[in-house]
């Protein structure tokens, strides 16, 4: 089932009669018309959603612990039932949203970069992808933060609170996502090439490069993420006055979390591409 859902079957013909059977298939047409683009986008969304969902589940405890610490709480004061509720709350919503978020970033980066190559072009296209992510995800992240830290509140109450200021914290979200994507997109491309030169397969090189670059970039932008969390939770930003140590307090948690998120995502994506190549032979 996974092969037929996430991989491109080597069909010799194309059937319009059964929509479900051809939903994720790639019809062999000479020109990429609107129908083919539609099917390719649905298949990419399915791949990104499944790979991202695996990372969301694996990184759930680290995500919850990061939010608690950035909101001014300590893990010692947190009770186990409260922590488990924070890990579990909104998990399905986050799993469903992650594919849309990653596909949006990839689409923007590809559209801006086009057929051009070079480090500066990739940095610029990554920055544009980060801008799109920040503008699209600020309200969603505010909802997930409030829902995770106040798991006992009714969902409608959380939605009303977020709707009052949907772009609260967007400046810090931009300060986090723009440098993050500007670092990740070019670094993954060039590091995977170097790893291939060392004898690694393309799938293993891309998966390892994605995990390492994503984790390091996430750790670097930890201060912006901490300030964004406090802003969206309505907490004072500068009381007490933040120090370098306090701003980077969750950097190890974000590093491990991103290893799971990007490692599983890139590994699954490369696995699907490998199946594509095998079926095309």
Q: pLDDT at residue 10 above 70?
A: no
The string of pLDDT tens digits covering residues 130-176 is 999 998 888 888 888 877 777 666 777 777 777 877 788 899 999 99
pLDDT tens-digit map of 207-248: 899 999 999 999 999 999 999 988 888 888 776 777 888 889
Interval 65-80: pLDDT, tens: 888 888 877 767 777 7
Name the class of domain 2-280.
Answer: mainly alpha
Domain ranges, ordered by start, for the chain: 2-280
181: closest CA among 144, 220, 141?
Answer: 220
- What is the torsion angle, in degrees rounded to the nearest 10, for the CA atoms of residue 141, residue 146, residue 151 and residue 153? -130
* pLDDT per residue as tens digits for the range 31-57: 455 555 556 778 778 888 888 888 888
Q: Would the pLDDT of 22 be above 60?
A: no
């Amino acid at each position: 089932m996974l092969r037929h859902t996430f991989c491109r079957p080597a069909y010799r013909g194309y059937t319009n009669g059964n929509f479900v059977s051809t939903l994720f298939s790639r019809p062999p047409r000479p020109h990429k018309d609107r129908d083919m683009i539609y099917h390719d986008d649905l298949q990419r969304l399915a791949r990104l959603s499944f790979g991202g969902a695996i990372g969301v589940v694996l990184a759930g405890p680290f995500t919850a612990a990061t939010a608690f610490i950035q909101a001014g709480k300590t893990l010692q004061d947190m009770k186990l039932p409260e922590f488990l509720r924070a890990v579990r709350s909104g998990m399905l919503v986050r799993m469903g949203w992650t594919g849309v978020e990653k596909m949006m970033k990839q689409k923007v980066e590809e559209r801006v970069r086009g057929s051009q190559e070079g480090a500066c072009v990739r940095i610029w296209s990554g920055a544009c992808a980060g801008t799109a992510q920040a503008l699209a995800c600020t309200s969603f992240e505010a909802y997930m933060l409030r829902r995770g830290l106040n798991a006992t509140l009714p969902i409608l109450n959380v939605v009303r609170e977020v709707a009052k200021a949907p772009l609260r914290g967007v400046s810090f979200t931009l300060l986090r996502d723009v440098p993050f994507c500007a670092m990740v997109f070019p670094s993954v491309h060039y590091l995977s090439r170097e790893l291939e030169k060392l004898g690694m397969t393309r799938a293993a090189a891309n998966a390892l490069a994605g995990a390492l670059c994503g984790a390091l970039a996430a750790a670097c932008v930890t201060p912006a993420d901490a300030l964004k969390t406090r802003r969206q939770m309505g907490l004072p930003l500068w009381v007490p006055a933040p120090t370098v140590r306090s701003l980077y307090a969750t950097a190890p948690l974000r590093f491990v979390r991103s290893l799971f998120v990007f490692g599983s995502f890139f590994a699954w994506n490369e696995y699907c591409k490998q199946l594509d190549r095998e079926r095309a032979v």
